[in-house]
Amino acid sequence: MLVDFWATWCGPCRMLSPIVDEVASERPDVKVGKINVDEQPELAQQFGIMSIPTLLVFKNGEKVQESVGLIPKEKVEALLG
């Protein structure tokens, strides 16, 4: 599972969002979730999100990868393995 922590006022988040959407459409084996940190501050706090955008990758319920900041599509795909 890939989780994107973002906010509407965050420029890099708005640039990363279509990349995440594209990867989601190309990888039906990966569940993708987006969490607006302004609407879900307790979830952001629970996962220790300090900066956005942050991508977290979970396998079997465990966080296995994390990326902070705007990254290209290739790096998003690399996070997923």
List the catalytic residues.
10, 13
CB 63 within 8 A of CB 55: no
Q: Where are the beta strands (DSSP E) in 1-81?
A: 2-6, 32-36, 54-59, 62-68
CB 52 within 8 A of CB 7: yes
